[in-house]
C-alpha cells in the first residue's frame, strides 16, 4: 500500500501497482471504468463508497422508465455489485426496494433522463466519479483508475 497522509478528518490513500505474483485481498474488488462515464456528485450530495465504487443515494426516489434489468431476492450490496459487474451494458444507476429485496439497474442516470421522481418504497443509487472531496461517508479505500 502506498503512503498515507492525514489532514483533519480526511485520509489519503495512494494507489500502487501490485506485481502479478502477489494476490490482492478478496475484499478489494478491481473495478475499471472509462473516465467521464459517470458524473461528479452534485453540490448538495455526499458520495458513499460501497462495493468498490462511489454512489449517491437519493432516498425515496426512482428514475422513471429506465428499468434495464430487474432481479428479486438481492441485498442492497448484491444489487450494487450486480450493477458494477453488469456485462450486457454499462450500469449507471440502481433502484432498490428493501421490502421486496428488488434490484432494478439501468444504463441511464439523472444526466441522461433529467431527474428522479418520488417513491415511498424505493431508493435510487447513482454511480459517480469522485475526486479528492472531503465528504465520503464510508471508510476510504483506493479509488479505481
pLDDT along the chain (145 residues), means of 10: 50 51 42 50 70 86 93 96 94 96 95 90 87 46 44
Which of 60, 31, 4 lies closest to 129, judged by CA? Answer: 31
Rounded distance between C-alpha atoms, residue 6 and residue 23, angstroms = 27
Rounded distance between C-alpha atoms, residue 83 and residue 88, angstroms = 10
Over residues 23-44, the pLDDT tens digits come to: 444 444 444 444 455 556 566 6
Rounded distance between C-alpha atoms, residue 59 and residue 52, angstroms = 21
- Domain segments of the chain as ranges: 4-127
Class of domain 4-127: alpha beta
Q: To the nearest whole number, what is the mean pLDDT of the chain?
A: 74
Q: What values do phi and psi take at 70, rounded to 5? A: -130, 125
Q: Evaluate whether 133 touches 44 at the Cβ level (below 8 Å).
A: no
Amino acid at each position: 500500500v502506498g503512503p498515507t497522509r492525514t489532514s483533519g478528518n480526511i485520509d489519503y490513500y495512494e494507489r500502487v501497482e501490485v506485481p502479478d505474483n502477489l494476490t490482492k485481498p478478496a475484499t478489494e474488488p478491481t473495478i475499471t471504468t472509462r473516465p467521464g462515464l459517470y458524473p461528479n456528485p452534485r453540490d448538495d450530495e455526499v458520495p458513499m463508497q460501497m462495493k468498490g465504487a462511489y454512489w449517491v443515494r437519493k432516498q425515496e426516489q426512482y428514475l422513471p422508465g429506465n428499468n434495464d434489468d430487474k432481479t428479486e431476492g438481492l441485498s442492497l450490496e448484491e444489487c450494487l455489485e450486480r450493477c458494477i459487474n453488469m456485462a450486457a451494458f454499462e450500469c449507471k444507476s440502481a433502484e432498490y426496494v428493501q421490502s421486496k429485496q428488488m434490484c432494478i439497474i439501468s444504463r441511464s442516470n439523472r444526466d441522461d433522463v433529467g431527474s428522479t421522481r418520488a417513491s415511498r418504497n424505493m431508493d435510487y443509487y447513482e454511480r459517480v466519479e469522485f475526486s479528492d472531496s472531503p465528504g465520503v461517508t464510508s471508510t476510504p479505500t483506493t479509488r479505481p483508475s
